[in-house]
Amino acid sequence: MAPEDPEDPEVKVTKVIGSDGKRKHKCDPTHKHVKFRDPVFWSGKEPFLVSFPDDKPFGKRQFGNREPTTVTLQLRPGQTETFKAIFTVEGEELQSEQTEGDIIVEGG
């Protein structure tokens, strides 16, 4: 896999079926590094909503496939916080073990 392009706001989402037969969603890059005011969007073949606990780090509850959003969490230089994406597909919220992907907010 090619290294992450910090200028590319896209996170590609792929649906896979795990060895347990359950639907899973994998993000590419799996660990997206962002900073305050960076744009981000998720894209995939099927409709979905993506959200993060406590509306962090984007300041709103959820957004859809290809809907752009901006990092609103501002951290001090040297600080980082990691947030795991929560996907809702066909009205079903996927459990954390069904999702591979997070956002790493870096201060600076």
pLDDT the model gives residue 6: 63
Say if residue 1's pLDDT is above 80: no
pLDDT digits (tens, 9 = 90+) for 28-75: 999 999 999 999 999 999 899 999 888 789 987 789 999 999 999 999
In angstroms, the CA 14 to CA 30 distance is 11
Contact (Cβ atoms closer than 8 angstroms) between residue 24 and residue 16 = yes
Q: Report the share of the chain in percent with pLDDT over 90.
A: 54
Task: Tell me which amino acid residue 20 is.
Answer: D
pLDDT the model gives residue 65: 93
Say if residue 88's pLDDT is above 70: yes
